[in-house]
Chain A
């Protein structure tokens, strides 16, 4: 076996680390860390009132990004988040959160502010009912057929038209500000419906974005607040998303287990399941400890981590299965050590390419992408660790405990659609 191949080795060949000998220590450490991760959820509950830093995806609420311009020069300027916070608190807002976010437009850095609030609409149920009452009282002479709220808009059907100017003071009475109609709107609403002769008017209220904008402009003298983006999720929609996200995690673990039991055998499944759950809990733990935002994208990241972790585990398992058939006289511990050692270079290389690409996404990405990449960064680290130090040893432990004696080599399914090796060598696995 002379080496005339001049490979560039990442590790000198023949590496022979003992991975499984001390596996009990690793399992104990991992279980402890998992306890810390789960514990941090409760610490968060006590400290912040929530298990995790849910974004409005799950809580419901509104997220608005403001940029600030100087009134005089129309240049973008930086505003102190403290003053924004103070202004909103003074206006009686509760439960909101202000943080900085910056982005580039035409090579100019624009420093803006992201405001998150649990409120979904500028309206609360009381204001809605009040406005509805006021409108039907004030415009009783117009013979209102029906008036319903949809989001921040009130649809009114009446026998006689109602003008925007007439309605504005009525809404103001209920503490709401009416958006002016565009010329098109006014024309549209002033025409009766051909069939019924009814007039249908839509009164849109200024949303939260505008309400906050005014609060800020009042507090920050000489500054225009510009709404860059606003995003709202109703509380009901948020709950549903959370349910869906939770379900998707449970189902994917279950399906992946099923796949392993089918493709390998049942002894492999618990190890992979434990490793996967470990990875999921560790990622959740890091998000909880660092109070990182958990959005829908984080869930996507978490699921990818789980997919990646299983992928990593499966590739080690695949080699174990192969070596079991090949090295029948060896003990299972030895086989696992040999297999992990054989796969070590691949594991390091693959983990580092995925880690590097996601790290770059973490550094340069924005918002959604960054959140996802962060989950992946942690996931790659714990996923690689768990497939070597947890999944494989657990498989060994189960094999020893419940399948004493040489494990029956399961028949390996024939690879599909590939040419068979040129000549069956003595160390080739059993072909069915």
Chain B
């Protein structure tokens, strides 16, 4: 054996090992892989193979525009009352988003028209009046550019919202993809299951944006220490004392909290206009794997057919939020007693509640678990998303820090002005779908219908990401959720199982027939081709595992097809070698020429297939996409097995029979 062959053989073995490693997590019963194992991703089965729901949502833009028109009407109505203008505002149903103002006094028309235009700017555009509107009518409509803006932010916001909502419900392996103007959601599992139904309801529900005041513990700090154990303003301070934090072991630390990874921290800031330093205490916990009862797991959707049950308990992912909630409030599902039950002195007053904010893990941190922190909130809703007319991303002209510009509608700006005047120095939490999105400090009373939210510390990139998220939330949070189901598909897993069996069968028979043909015609070389087919399949699956791809029935069909193409490559090479041998070449020369001359034909054939696959990937949806992905993977693996793997086997074959070889079994 020459040196290069040795190295190539070694590389082949390493490649095989790598493939085996990549496929290990997919192998049944691989739950017990050690944690150091480098490969985690596995091939998941498509809905057609395991059952579930496939739902296509679209953004109902018409509804959003219509609602915007109604909001304009409300706003104008309140403005005309304030300004004592005698006018009637109508929202005719056609054209979409139309608003008509009919003035009693025609003299003010020009003045009011320009006022409306300067106030609403790009949100509205002029339109022609209907004949019966009269001469004193001002006719505008929600502008198309604004509608496009809504659509764009609504789409990207909807995708992340849907993802959040599904994750909250704990449906496993969901897929949420944006495609054109549609959002495609795939949920594996039993469609009639309670968790699935709830998830489906939740997805189409309106996002709800609320503003609540964060009640910090500054006033508690001013109290006489003897009062802190009972005063309602010190609820968080007491929790802070009780829970303690890691690195502060000299303070009282609740062992139960410590075991759950819950820590308490103070948050300190000073308002920009000076004044006293403010203090807020909060709890923090990471998402974690925990053993929970099967009831709890079933309720939160992490109990699946193949989940190993140990003594009535299973291992589940528990979010940091759930960890803290269970610790404080207990859990009715499995009868866990919380701190508030065992010691009522910690209980919050009725007019307060705990809010939770998910914090993205620090990208440099070793542990990439999501972190949740609490806010102690005044329960009353001070403002909702309907108060906001527009939000946009910007940067502070002086400091360059990312900011969010908010436009309130007339009604909202008054409320917001009053609210911010009351709470200067405090934090105002904006809560979307029961989750705190951000809680900026209010530095001054904000009047005039415009507000700026300056993003908090941290690095600029992260601030920008948070800002864009907030803008999306604010923009669409003020809209009624315009998500509408376009198509819904439920796939029963029984039919899937039947389909799997049949596809498996045809797969096996197909391969056997290929073996018969190849070995029948090319004898020994034919069996080399068979081995390279096996390698081809292993490699295809390994590539799928790298991307954590989903295997669907059409995907299996594509694998079968790519086997045909892979065999074609071998046939091309073998025919070429035969030709060269017949021309009187030596065996080694014929093999060399066979491989090099067949190459261009193989490459052209595979690349044209790749072109078709790529187009399918762009336009196909659902089943076609699965097919296209496999076709492309097949092109890659076919090229490498044809050119490289088969060659190694031929070189072995020749090297084994040293010296003058008259012919080979081909």
Contact = CB atoms under 8 A, between A and B. Distances in A.
Interface of A: 1, 3-8, 10, 13, 65, 103-105, 120, 146, 148, 150-151, 153, 155, 157, 182, 184-185, 188, 193-196, 200, 202, 227-234, 236-237, 240-241, 244-245, 247-248, 251-252, 255-256, 259, 263, 296-297, 299-300, 303-304, 306-308, 310-312, 314-315, 318-319, 322, 342-343, 345-346, 349-350, 352-354, 356-358, 360-361, 363-369, 372-373, 376, 412-413, 415, 417-423, 427
Given A5-B581, A230-B489, A357 B561 contact: yes
B506 A297 contact: no
A232 B54 CA distance: 10
A153 B204 contact: yes
B69 interface: no
Contact of B510 (A151, A236, A357, A419): A357
A182 B197 contact: yes
Given A248-B618, A354-B561, A357-B560, A314 B601 contact: yes
A306 B513 contact: no
Contacts of B614: 255
A422 B578 contact: no
B595 interface: yes
A30 to B, nearest CB: 21
Contact of B631 (A304, A350, A421): A304
B554 interface: yes
B499 interface: yes
B663 interface: yes
7 contacts: A8-B522, A105-B494, A150-B483, A228-B495, A234-B56, A251-B618, A307-B613
B601 A319 contact: yes
Contacts of A354: 561, 564-565, 568
B354 to A, nearest CB: 12
Contact of A8 (B491, B510, B521): B521
Interface string B592-617: 11011101110111111101111110
Nearest to B567: A353
Contacts of B48: 368
A318 B601 CA distance: 6
B509 A364 contact: yes
B480 A146 contact: yes
A7 B604 contact: no
A365 B553 CA distance: 10
Interface stretch (B71-79, B250-258, B620-628): B620-628
Interface in B446-500: 480, 483-492, 494-495, 497-499
Contact of A364 (B506, B520, B575): B506
B498 A104 contact: yes
Nearest to A202: B201
Interface of B: 48, 56, 58, 63, 180, 182, 194, 197-198, 201, 204-206, 208, 210, 353, 379, 381, 384, 431, 480, 483-492, 494-495, 497-499, 501-503, 505-506, 509-510, 513-514, 517-518, 520-523, 553-554, 556-557, 560-561, 563-565, 567-568, 571-572, 575, 578-579, 581-584, 588-589, 592-593, 595-597, 599-601, 603-609, 611-616, 618-624, 627-628, 631, 643, 662-663, 666
Contact of B596 (A188, A365, A367, A415): A415
A216 to B, nearest CB: 17
Candidate in B554, B578, B611 with the most chain A CB atoms within 10 angstroms = B611
B484 A368 contact: no
A300 B182 CA distance: 21
Contacts of A369: 499, 502-503, 506, 553-554, 556-557
A297 B643 CA distance: 31
B567 A248 contact: no
Given A104-B498, A184-B198, A357-B513, A315 B604 contact: yes
A151 B201 CA distance: 11
Given A259-B608, A356-B510, A361 B484 contact: no
Contact of A184 (B194, B353, B572, B643): B194
Contacts of B565: 311, 354
Given A153-B204, A353-B568, A196 B560 contact: no
A148 B63 contact: yes
A193 B588 CA distance: 80
Given A303-B615, A311-B605, A353-B564, A346 B572 contact: yes
B571 A350 contact: yes
A206 to B, nearest CB: 12
Contacts of B557: 361, 365, 368-369, 372-373
Contacts of B521: 8, 10, 349
Given A8-B520, A244-B620, A357 B564 contact: yes
Nearest to A189: B201
A256 B624 contact: no
A407 B666 CA distance: 36
The 10 closest A-B pairs by CB, nearest first: A151-B485, A307-B612, A354-B564, A248-B619, A195-B381, A357-B510, A364-B506, A311-B605, A252-B615, A103-B498
B612 A365 contact: no
A13 B582 CA distance: 10
Contacts of A4: 662-663
B593 A421 contact: yes
A152 B384 CA distance: 29
Nearest to B512: A360
A304 B612 contact: yes
Contact of B588 (A103, A306, A422): A422
Nearest to A319: B601
A149 B205 CA distance: 11
B488 A155 contact: no
Contact of A368 (B488, B554, B575, B631): B554
Contact of A256 (B180, B205, B489, B612): B612
A244 B619 CA distance: 5
Contacts of A248: 615-616, 618-620
A14 B260 CA distance: 80
Contacts of B491: 229, 231
B436 to A, nearest CB: 13
A316 to B, nearest CB: 9
A252 B561 contact: no
Nearest to B663: A5
A297 B554 contact: yes
B184 to A, nearest CB: 10
A346 B567 CA distance: 11
Contact of B600 (A150, A155, A318, A352): A318
A300 B554 contact: yes
Contacts of B182: 237, 240
Contacts of B643: 417-418
B553 A368 contact: yes
Contacts of A237: 56, 182, 486-487
Nearest to B627: A300
Contacts of A350: 564, 567-568, 571
Contacts of A299: 620, 624
For A228, A256, A357, the residue with the greatest tally of chain B CB atoms inside 10 Å of its CB is A357
Contacts of B494: 103, 105, 228
A256 B487 contact: no
A296 B622 contact: yes
Contacts of B583: 1, 427
A400 to B, nearest CB: 24
Most buried by A among B208, B480, B502, B565: B502
B607 A259 contact: yes
A275 B486 CA distance: 38
B208 A193 contact: yes
A365 B502 CA distance: 6
A300 B623 contact: yes
A9 to B, nearest CB: 9
